[in-house]
A and B are shown apart, each in its own frame.
Chain A
Amino acid sequence: MPSLKQIKRRISSIKNTQQITRAMKMVAAAKLRRAQENIIKARPYSHKLREVIKDLSGRCDRSQHPLLAVREPKEIGVVVITADRGFCGGFNTNIIKRAVKEIESFETIDPTIQMMTIGKKGSDYFAKNDYNVLQRHDQLFQDLHFGVAASVGESLIDFYKQEKLDRVYLIYNEFKSAIQQNLIVEQLLPIIPDEPEETTTSQVDFIYEPDPLQVLSGVLPLYVNVQMWRVFLESNAAEHGARMTAMENATNNANELIDTLTLTYNKARQAAITKELLEVVSGAEGLK
Chain B
Amino acid sequence: MADTFQLDIVTPDGLVFSEPIEHLRAPGVEGSFGVLVGHTPFMTPLDVGEVDVTQSGKVRILATSGGFVEVNPDRTVILVQTAEFAEDIDIERAEEARKRAAERVQSKQPDTDLDRAEGALMRSINRIRVAKRI
In this complex, how many residues of chain A approach chain B with their Cβ under 8 Å: the count is 29
B interface, by DSSP: helix, strand, loop or mixed?
strand
CA distance A38 to B10 in the complex (A): 14
Q: Give the residue of A38, A46, A207, A210 whose beta carbon is less than 8 angstroms from that of B41.
A: A207
- Contact among A38, A44, A207, A226 for B15, CB-based, below 8 A: A44
Pick out which of these stretches binds chain A: B42-50, B98-106, B126-134: B42-50
Taking CB atoms, residues of chain A closer than 8 Å to B77 are 48
Once the chains bind, are A207 and B13 in contact (CB under 8 Å)?
A: no
Contact digits for A29-60, partner B, Cβ 8 Å, 1 yes 0 no: 00000000010011011101100100000000
Q: Mark A203-243, 1 if CB is under 8 A from B, else 0.
A: 01111111000110011001000100100000000000000
Is A208 a contact partner of B44 (Cβ separation < 8 A)?
Answer: yes
B42 with A206: CB separation less than 8 A: yes
Tell me if A41 and B14 are in contact (CB < 8 A): yes
The B1-19 residues at the A interface (CB cut-off 8 A) are: 8, 10-15
Q: Is A146 an interface residue (CB 8 A)?
A: yes
- Residues from chain A with a CB closer than 8 A to the CB of B15 are 41, 44
Name the interface size band of chain B: 20 to 34
Q: Chain A residues near B87 (CB, 8 Å)?
A: none
Q: Is B90 part of the contact surface with A, judged by Cβ < 8 Å?
A: no
Contacts A45-B79, A52-B70, A218-B68 hold; do A209 and B28 have CB atoms under 8 A apart? yes
Q: Are A146 and B79 in contact (CB under 8 A)?
A: no
Q: State which of A205, A210, A219 has its C-beta within 8 Å of the C-beta of B29.
A: A210
Q: Which of B8, B11, B43, B81 is the one whose CB lies under 8 Å from A207?
A: B43
Residues of A within 8 A of B (CB): 38, 41-42, 44-46, 48-49, 52, 145-146, 149-151, 154, 204-210, 214-215, 218-219, 222, 226, 229
**Chain B interfacial positions (CB closer than 8 Å to A):** 8, 10-15, 28-30, 40-45, 67-68, 70, 72, 77, 79, 81-82, 116
With A52-B43, A207-B41, A218-B45 known, 19 other A-B pairs at CB within 8 A are: A38-B13, A41-B15, A44-B10, A44-B14, A44-B15, A48-B70, A49-B79, A52-B79, A145-B13, A146-B13, A150-B81, A207-B42, A208-B42, A208-B43, A209-B30, A210-B44, A214-B45, A215-B68, A226-B12
- Top 3 closest pairs, chain A to chain B, by CB: A41-B14, A218-B45, A209-B44
**Can you list 6 A-B contacts (CB < 8 A)?**
A38-B13, A52-B79, A145-B13, A207-B42, A209-B30, A218-B29
